[in-house]
Amino acid sequence: MAEVESGIDDVVNGTLSIIDGEQRIYYYGYWILYYEPPAETWTARIRLIEGLTRRTFHHTEAGINTPGDKLDLARKCYEEASNEQEKRVNGAMLAGALFNRATDIFKIIVELEDKGVHLSLENELMQECNECLLEAMKLGKMVRHVSGVEGIDELWGEPLKAFTMPLEMFYETRYVKISNTMRDIDRIVAELRECLSDYPDFKPLWPILDEFSNYAKLNSETIKRDPRWYAIWPKFVTNSENIEALISQLQDSVDSDSRSFIIAGCKLIEDGKNLIRHISGARVPMPETTKRFMKQCEQYKLIFKNSNGNSHDT
C-alpha cells in the first residue's frame, strides 16, 4: 500500500496517508483510522477471534450465546423443533454453540503451539474447528441483529474469516466494511435532509444530526482499546440524547391532528438515528433495514412533500 500526502485526487483503495497527525487508510471515498495488523501468530489470531466473537454476540439477539460444551443439546433441540419460528431461534442458538466450540478448540490449539506442538491444517482439531465455524456461518442467516429487525450476516461471518485469512487481509476486509458503514450513515443523513429541510420546525435538528453522524463514523472506525474511544463515545451518546430531546420537544409543541407531518417527521428522525446507532456499533451495513428506512422516507415525501407542495403550511 503506497503512502502519499493527503489531498491527492484519484486515490487508490488501500492508500495510507497522515491526515491531521493520524495515519489513515483510504477505501471507497473515506479515509479510515488505520491500525497496524498484529503479527501473524496463533496467539494473535485467537485474541482476534475471541474479540470478534464477543462483539458478534453483543450485537445479535439475546439468548444465543450458548456454551460450546452444550453443542449436542443445541443441535438436538434444533433438529427436533417443529414450530418454524422456534426452529429459527434454535438454529441461532446452535450457531452460537458452534462458534463457542470453535473458540474452545482454538484455545487448545494455541496452548499446544505455545508448548512447541505444531499442528497442520489437516489435523483433526483444526478440521473440527473449521467445520464448526463453517456450520455456524451457514446457520448465521437465522441470527438477527439485537434490534430484531434483520439478520447481520457480515458481522456473523467475521470469526470464520479471522480463522481462515491472513491477518493483514482480514484487516483489509474490515476497512471495506467500515467505509460501507460510513457511506450508509451519510446516505441516511442525506435522506433525512431531503425529507425535512423544507420545514422550519426541523431547523434545530441539522447541527445536532451532523455532529451525531460525525461521531457515529468516528465510533465505527475506532477500536475500544484505543484511548481516543473514551472521548468519542460520550459525545456520540450525548448527541443521541440531544436528538431524542429535540424529538420530544417537537412532539410536545404541535397539534398532531393539524400538523401530522411533524409527528411523522419525528418518527423518521428517531428511526434514522437508531439505524445509524446500530450500524455504527456493528461496523457493518444493515442493507435490509436501510432499504426499509429509505422506503419510509419516500413514503413521507409522497404524502407530505410532494402532495400539494405546501403541506407544511397546513
pLDDT at 112: 86
The answer to whether the beta carbons of residues 137 and 117 sit under 8 Å apart is no
Kindly state the percentage of the chain with pLDDT values over 70: 90
144 and 234 belong to one structural domain? no
Residue 154: count other Cβ atoms within 10 Å of its Cβ.
19
308 and 188 belong to one structural domain? yes
pLDDT (tens digit per residue) in 30-43: 999 999 998 888 88
Last residue of a domain, one of 139, 164, 189: 164
100 within a domain of the structure (yes/no) = yes
pLDDT (tens digit per residue) in 243-266: 999 999 888 877 655 578 888 899
299 within a domain of the structure (yes/no) = yes
For residue 24, give its domain range: 1-33
301 and 213 belong to one structural domain? yes
264 and 287 belong to one structural domain? yes
Q: Measured between alpha carbons, how far is 184 from 246 in angstroms, rounded to an integer?
A: 23
148 and 94 belong to one structural domain? yes
173 within a domain of the structure (yes/no) = no
146 and 248 belong to one structural domain? no
Nearest to 253 by CA among 241, 244, 262: 262
**How many domains are there within the chain?**
3
Q: Measured between alpha carbons, how far is 278 from 236 in angstroms, rounded to an integer?
A: 12
Q: Measured between alpha carbons, how far is 150 from 224 in angstroms, rounded to an integer?
A: 25
29 within a domain of the structure (yes/no) = yes
Q: Measured between alpha carbons, how far is 237 from 208 in angstroms, rounded to an integer?
A: 12
pLDDT (tens digit per residue) in 208-243: 999 999 999 999 999 988 999 999 999 999 999 999
